[in-house]
Amino acid sequence: MTFYKILLITIVALASYALFYGFLIEPRMVKIRKITIKLRSLPPSCRGLRIAFFSDLHAGFFYPPAHIEKVFNKLLATAPDLICIGGDFVEERTPITDEAFRRKLLEQLSRLKAPLGTYTVLGNHDTETHKNYFYVRDILEEAGIKLLQNEAVDIEGLCLIGLKESYHQTPDLDAATNCPGQKSTQGSTSRIIMMHQPDDIPDTATLSDGDLILSGHSHKGQITLFGLPLYTVQGGRKRIYGHYLLPSGAQQITSSGLGTVHIYARFFAPPEILLITLDSKAT
């Protein structure tokens, strides 16, 4: 066998394995990533509070309820105090007219219970059509997951804010600056701000080192050249993945998400669930 034949066979074998790995292995390699975040003005009752965060479920044929069940088993095994979700429950090929699929998806989402509640925002795929929007809104309500749309809630003295996504809606941080039971949130207490697109947080001048922003959307590039994204999306290019310190002192975490979209593969951009432990920052 000549050198060139050996080289060709090697290239074909490597390409075949890369396709097999990207479509069938890595998308199922969900990991729990643990991180501790220190925030100024964190209420004493929230010191040590653990938040499970994930984004970009993209439920459908390539991310069916049977797999979602296994992923949620991992999440629930961490016993978080609070569950936060970054949006994009569906995508273009989600069978939203299939009642059996809806019933199974609802069954899994209904399992997401935590002592301090389960909260979510929407993603661009959830809002790109009226059908998607009403499908996601209704299933979240039935599952007992609280949808925040430019709204805030008080969690043990911690302000949790959920913003609208930026493709088809208008995020408004000013509209969500007051938590029930608190006089003011800006600069006076720690805030967790959920928004789907990491680059499109509005009103950045109002942010401070008491703020933590949780986002998804980018999928960490989803298909990368050994970690270098080959394709990026609008709203997810500046802070594509990881932990960022913003000029205001606010911190932001962009998750790689769980599911896939358009190309149903991941290559060196594994899916994840974040388990965030809050601590107080020294003043």
Quick: pLDDT tens for 227-274. 889 889 999 999 999 999 999 999 999 999 999 999 999 999 999 999
Q: Tokens 């899994």 identify what position?
A: 108
Residue 55 and residue 272 in contact, taking contact as beta carbons nearer than 8 Å: no
DSSP letters, 148-199, are: -SSEEEEETTEEEEEPPPSSSS---SGGG---TT-S--TTTS-EEEE-SSTT
pLDDT band at 154 (very low <50, low <70, confident <90, very high): very high
Q: What pLDDT is stored for residue 273 in this prediction? A: 98
**What average pLDDT does range 6-28 have in this prediction?**
71
Q: Enumerate the β-bridge partners of residue 131.
A: none
Check residue 182 and give its pLDDT: 59
SS3 185: coil
**Which CATH number fits the domain 30-280, given the four candidates 3.60.21.10, 3.40.50.10860, 2.40.30.10, 3.30.1540.10?**
3.60.21.10
* pLDDT value, residue 8: 60
As to burial, measured by CB atoms within 10 angstroms (0-12 exposed, 13-18 middle, 19+ buried), residue 183 is exposed
What pLDDT shows up at residue 184? 47
Q: Which H or E run includes 279?
A: strand 272-280
77, 171, 154, 65: which is closest to 117 by C-alpha?
154
Determine how β-strand 158-162 pairs with β-strand 151-155: antiparallel
The per-residue pLDDT for 128 is 97
- pLDDT for 230: 86
Rounded to whole angstroms, the Cα distance separating 105 from 280 reads 37
Distance CA 251, CA 129 (A): 32
Domain boundaries, the chain: 30-280
Q: Which residues contact 185 (CB under 8 A, 6 or more apart)?
A: 152, 159, 161, 177, 178, 179, 191
pLDDT for position 226 = 81
Given pLDDT bands bounded at 50, 70 and 90, which one contains residue 1?
low
- Give the pLDDT of residue 22: 79
The beta strands (E) that lie in 60-136 are given as 82-85, 118-120
Tens of pLDDT, residues 164-217: 999 999 999 988 777 765 554 444 589 999 999 999 988 777 899 999 999 999
- Tokens matching residue 8: 């060709």
User: pLDDT tens across 23-78, in order?
Assistant: 888 899 999 999 999 999 999 999 999 999 999 999 999 999 999 999 999 999 99
Mean pLDDT of 102-120: 98
Q: Is the pLDDT of residue 18 over 80?
A: no
The CA distance from 251 to 211, in Å, is 6
Structural tokens at position 96: 């939203």
Q: Give pLDDT, residue 58.
A: 98
**What confidence score (pLDDT) does residue 231 get?**
82
Q: What is residue 175's predicted lDDT score, i.e. its pLDDT? A: 81
